């Protein structure tokens, strides 16, 4: 059973083709710079037990040209992995914002597409691109079931006290302003890996997804998200690569009134020019780590602020859960940045969290679940590689089984 997973961005298409009989990836790739110059596709594939890759430089005026080349690469005689697009039995799409309606993956219909479009106001950078990915995929796989998997779905178990804002009620009832969260597919996946590893399906877990976008989630003994750091949009919560995270709203009023910032510039300022980039001039944590080790004061402040924000959320979520069995680091920074994991876990001894610094370094960037807590730690500290594509593929497969 072959499932194709598509994550379409405004100028990119990320894809994976998975064999669900073995949960293995047989091809994956990324189309970049759609709609601009310097287009490139990097296609990695597994054929006859050998892994290889193919790169092609060409212009992609629209997503249609990108998807056309993906299909050609998947079916190519020399480096393709299927003989015909019909070999694929289902296509799963990552959709960032499902609003308060979609709490489970759904088979894509015209009505579902209309709903995704309606919710674009809640995720203007993501949902329109996600919807475009669906429409393009339907052109090339017209008779193959397509499934939408929503990033927000996992967080719809949050209680009102966690997702409501203390603003007049009509803004919630009429305009649906509330906390929705994000990265739900990743949090759900690593939580399952954690409880299976611990052989404790009722474990209370705090999952920490640290990448260019970052979020942290409190998951109770029922496997339900009860709170998460991202809010109405992915801007809220932790410090990120280019996003500010939590900020006093009155700062924005002050910027407009006193700093000469135009109101329409605020979105770009907070989403694309803040976070690590705003503090250090670099948005990549690897660059900031290097500056930190050289004693750069901006980098020191950045990592101290970054880790402090995560630390505060850990404390808050332990209180919300009334205890915790494990904390899990995942995603690009969470899995690979020993420096930040060390800073985050420092001085949490009172909460029973104690890192083994040697394991933290030696087991960084693992292929499977690794524990990095000290022997005296009362709380498990784990690194778990996320696999959102596999989670989406599994959700898609489950929908196909119900058809």
Q: Which residues are annotated as a binding site for ATP?
A: 14, 209-213, 284-286, 332-336
Q: Strand 380-383 and strand 326-330: pairing?
A: parallel
**Beta carbons within 10 angstroms of residue 21's beta carbon:** 8
Residues placed in the known binding site for substrate: 94
Q: How far is CA 63 from CA 30, 204, 264, in A?
A: 12, 42, 28
Rounded distance, CA 73 to CA 55, Å?
10
Dihedral angle, C-alpha 262, 263, 264, 266, nearest 10 °: 90
Three-state DSSP class for residue 171:
helix
Rounded distance, CA 359 to CA 377, Å?
13
Contact 194, 328 (CB under 8 A): yes
Burial of 275 (0-12, 13-18, 19+ CB in 10 A): buried
Contact 15, 29 (CB under 8 A): yes
Return the H-helix or E-strand segment holding 16: strand 13-19
Residues placed in the known binding site: 7, 14, 94, 209-213, 284-286, 332-336, 388
Q: Catalytic annotation on 296?
A: no
**Which residues neighbour 371 within 8 Å (Cβ) at sequence distance 6 or greater?**
359, 380, 381, 382
Q: Pinpoint the alpha helices (H) of 55-102.
A: 63-75
Catalytic residue among 52, 110, 151, 289: 151
Rounded distance, CA 204 to CA 223, Å?
8
Tokens matching residue 61: 């005026």
Angle at 168 between CA 165 and CA 172, to 5 degrees: 60
Residues placed in the known binding site for Mg(2+): 7, 388
Q: Which residues participate in catalysis according to the annotation?
A: 151
């Amino acid at each position: 059973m072959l499932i194709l997973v598509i994550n379409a961005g405004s100028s990119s298409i990320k894809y994976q083709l998975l064999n669900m009989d073995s949960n293995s990836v047989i091809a994956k790739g990324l189309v970049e710079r759609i709609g601009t110059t310097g287009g490139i596709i990097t296609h990695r594939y597994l054929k006859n037990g050998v892994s290889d890759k193919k790169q092609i430089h060409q212009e992609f005026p629209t997503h249609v040209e990108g998807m056309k080349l993906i299909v050609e690469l998947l079916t190519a005689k020399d480096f393709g992995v299927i003989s015909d697009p019909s070999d694929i039995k289902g296509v799963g799409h990552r959709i960032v914002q499902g609003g308060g309606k979609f709490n489970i993956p759904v088979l894509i219909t015209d009505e579902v597409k209309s709903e995704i479009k309606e919710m674009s106001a809640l995720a203007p950078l993501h949902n329109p691109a996600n919807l475009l990915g669906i429409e393009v995929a339907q052109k090339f796989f017209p008779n193959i079931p397509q499934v939408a998997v929503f990033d927000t779905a996992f967080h719809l178990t949050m209680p009102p006290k966690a997702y409501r804002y203390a603003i007049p009620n009509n803004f919630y009832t009429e305009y649906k302003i509330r906390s929705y969260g994000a990265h739900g597919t990743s949090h759900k996946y690593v939580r399952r890996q954690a409880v299976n590893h611990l052989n404790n399906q009722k474990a209370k877990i705090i999952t920490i997804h640290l990448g260019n976008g970052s979020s942290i989630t409190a998951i109770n003994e029922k496997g339900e998200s009860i709170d998460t750091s991202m809010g109405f949009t992915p801007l809220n919560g932790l410090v990120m690569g280019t996003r500010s995270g939590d900020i006093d709203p009155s700062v924005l009023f002050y910027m407009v009134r006193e700093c000469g910032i135009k109101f329409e510039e605020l979105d770009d300022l907070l989403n694309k020019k803040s976070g690590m980039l705003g503090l250090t001039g670099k948005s990549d944590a690897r660059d900031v780590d290097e500056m930190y080790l050289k004693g750069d004061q901006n980098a020191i402040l950045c990592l101290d602020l970054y880790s402090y924000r995560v630390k505060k959320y850990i404390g808050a979520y332990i209180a919300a859960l009334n205890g915790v069995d494990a904390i899990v680091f995942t995603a690009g920074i969470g899995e690979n940045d020993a420096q930040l994991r060390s800073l985050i876990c420092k001085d949490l001894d009172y909460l029973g969290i104690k890192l083994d610094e040697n394991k933290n370094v030696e087991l960084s960037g693992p292929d499977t679940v690794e524990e990095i807590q000290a022997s005296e730690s009362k709380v498990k500290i784990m690194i778990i590689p996320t696999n959102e594509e596999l989670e989406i593929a599994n959700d898609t497969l489950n929908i196909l089984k119900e058809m």
